[in-house]
Structure 1
Amino acid sequence: MACNKKNMVSNNGSLTAQTIKNVTYGNDPLQKMDVYLPAGRNTLHTKALILIHGGGAWTSGDKADFDTAIQTLQNSLPNFALCNINYRLATIQGANVWPAQLSDINSAFQFIQQQQAKYIINAGKSAVFGARAGAQLALLLGYTHPNKIKAVVDLFDLTDLAALYYNAPNPTYPALISIFMSGTPATNIPGHISSNPLYLVITANLPSTIIFHGTADDVIPISQSDSLNNRLIQYNITHQYNQYAGAGHGWTGVNLIDTYNKSIQFLQQIMSD
């Protein structure tokens, strides 16, 4: 773990910014996070923004995927500490299958809570930002900790794995889902329920949520976000739903800039003191 042992103070008495790479929150080599602490932070107004990378069915991706966005987020959200998380990746051989990823994300969040005094932040006012499989994990984390996580940013999410299993856009999906979930929606009901953020939307006491999805996504159909949007409307939960016409599973250029701009504006609004 590369880090500074103490918080550094500038000439005017305020804390300086710190970057702490590969902080260990568990015993597995992938259970690490990068922590970016802002200058002038304090335990009242400095919130935590947790970044969760994506990857096909929890099998790929790395926290480095967010590296190009870190400076933009730091500049636009100077009152946030950024916690960029890795988690164990599943394999088609059956290693690290569900719920390993959910367990890791919960452990990472618990670690951040435990370290908030050391980091000099207020982790009781957190937000979470996820893409692809990371969006599913972000929703699950936010919707199971609504008293501490106030906002979720969700990029082309997976909200109902059972629906994806029975209406798969790719014929390989059912077999892969069965491996990663240790069974089908019929044979491992508890496991599939635990993986579906949609099933947690049964109360109005949930974090505000902003959703992004491409209308031509052929990996995770936009119907997954449609279902979440409808459920959030039903329970009158503050949210925004953004669709990009003709966009597939992820995007670049103008759409990506728009995604970050809207996400930052949303977090500024929802997480204001």
Structure 2
Amino acid sequence: MGWPPPPFLAPAPPLVRQGGVRSFEGVTYASTPGYRPRLLDAHVPASEHPVPAVVWIHGGGWLEGDRRFPPPTVPVELLHGMVLGAGLALVTIDYRHSLEAPFPAQLHDVKAAIRYVRRFAADLGIDKDRIGVWGESAGGHLAALAGLVRADGSEAAAALEGAEGVRDEDSAVRAVVDWYGVTDVGPLLSHALPPSPSGAEYPNPFTALLGGTTEQHPELARAASPVTYAGTASPPPFLLIHGTADGLVPYSQSEVLAEALERAGGQVTLQPVEGADHIFLGTPDVTPIVSESVAFLARHLGADPGVIGRR
């Protein structure tokens, strides 16, 4: 005997923190039998009016990671403080890892989270028409896909949109920040990976994402590559930030997407971080990088930094 999927209800009343910031924590935005529920946290600055929102997508090679923790080079307080201080809500999300379910499950979850935020925007105090995405590493890859893959009514688009969680909302976003994300999966299947910091054997993140090699899944590798969709009509503005000495995801990956977006007439800024490795290792201070990213999102989402403290 089967049971119907759980209803996706409005989030419970928030915790009210210092400065009137409202935090909705551990909200279930999607649930699939046999998998852990997918959760999000929403932190919303005090305001008399709905505010724009940024959906943060964590990294971890699609194999690990947690919505609550940025990369170790970026303090939680810095990320949260800058986003909220700019008058933006911050929505951090979990998604299925690749050994739980291969691609496109991760994109399905990201899109389900955006649809949930849009459905319950009034309860959260968010403007549903001003949502952007920001991701790092695997999350940057998913952020780029979320910005470029549109629900256009085609069978191919429906396969990438997914049917998890809230279904009858749009998953489009107005701006994308992608930190050192993969943009073309195929060439990286043969890319030599640096050794695991712990010395333990670590699954190849690219074959784990696809559930096999490019030779086994050539169409899936193409479908998982943001560059495939760079010719999408009217893509949202993109900010790509990438270390030039990245040993895990080469800087050329961001160059490829930037060039493809430029050819399609898209608005894109590629910002190299000279000498930086993955997660900006080797950079003495990531504060300017976070500040530039927040400023980009605030500008394109029309944020009002004066909302902080205004009741």
TM-score scaled to structure 2, two decimals? 0.75
Q: Deviations over 1:76-112 (max 9, x none)?
A: x21x221100111223xxx322222111111111111
Match of 1:63 in 2: 67
- Per the alignment, residue 11 of structure 1 pairs with none
Indicate the structure whose relative CO is greater, using CA pairs within 8 Å and at least 6 residues apart: 2
Q: 1:86 aligns with which of 89, 94, 101?
A: 94
Letter of the aligned partner of 1:60 in structure 2?
E
State the secondary structure of the residue aligned to 2:30.
coil
Closer, same or farther in 2 for the Cα pair 1:53/1:7, shift >3 Å?
Answer: closer
**In 2, Cα distance between equivalents of 1:185 and 1:169:** 15
Measured after TM superposition, the shift of residue 199 of structure 1 is 0.5
Residue 133 (structure 1) aligns with: 138
Percent identity over paired residues: 27
Unaligned runs of at least 5 residues, structure 2: 1-8, 71-75, 152-169, 196-201, 304-311
Q: CA deviation at 1:41?
A: 4.5
- Aligned residue number for residue 82 of structure 2: 72
Structure 2 distance, partners of 1:54, 1:234, is: 28
Q: State the alpha-carbon separation in 2 of the partners of residues 174 and 202 from structure 1.
A: 32
Match of 1:12 in 2: none
The 5 A counterparts of 1:222-237 are 222-237=251-266
Distance 2:54 2:213 in 1: 34
State the alpha-carbon separation in 2 of the partners of residues 240 and 6 from structure 1.
36
Q: CA 1:30–1:155 in structure 2 vs 1: closer, same or farther (change >3 Å)?
A: farther
Distance 1:175 1:247, change over 3 A: closer
Q: Distance in 1 between matches of 2:92 and 2:293?
A: 16
Are residues 1:119 and 2:124 paired?
yes
TM-score, with structure 1 as normaliser: 0.84
Amino acid at match of 2:25: K
Q: Residue 23 of structure 1 is aligned with which of 21, 27, 31?
A: 27
Unaligned residue ranges in structure 1 (runs of 5+): 9-14
Q: Which residue of 1 aligns with 2:163?
A: none
The one of 128, 147, 152 equivalent to 2:176 is 152
Query: Which secondary structure state, in structure 1, belongs to the residue aligned with residue 114 of structure 2?
Result: helix
Q: Which of 29, 36, 52 is 2:43 aligned to?
A: 36
Name the CA shift for 1:180/1:204 in 2 (closer, same or farther; >3 Å).
closer
- Amino acid corresponding to residue 169 of structure 1 in structure 2: A
Q: Answer yes or no: is 1:47 the counterpart of 2:52.
A: yes
In the superposition, relative to structure 1, how do residues 264 and 180 fare at CA in structure 2: closer, same or farther (>3 Å)?
A: closer
Count of residue pairs brought into register by the alignment: 257
Q: Which residue of 1 aligns with 2:3?
A: none
Alpha-carbon distance change, 226 to 6 in structure 1, aligned in 2, over 3 angstroms: closer
SS in 2 for 1:25: strand
**Equivalent AA in structure 1 for residue 232 of structure 2:** T
Q: How far, CA to CA, are the matches of 1:229 and 1:110 in structure 2?
A: 27
Between the aligned partners of 1:29 and 1:183, the Cα distance in structure 2 is 23
CA RMSD in angstroms comes to 2.7
Aligned partner of 1:201 in structure 2 is 230
In the TM superposition, residue 187 of structure 1 has moved relative to its aligned partner by 2.5
**Corresponding residue to 2:287 among 254, 257, 260:** 257
After TM superposition, give the deviation of residue 128 of structure 1 in Å. Answer: 0.5
1:201–1:5 Cα change, 3 Å: same
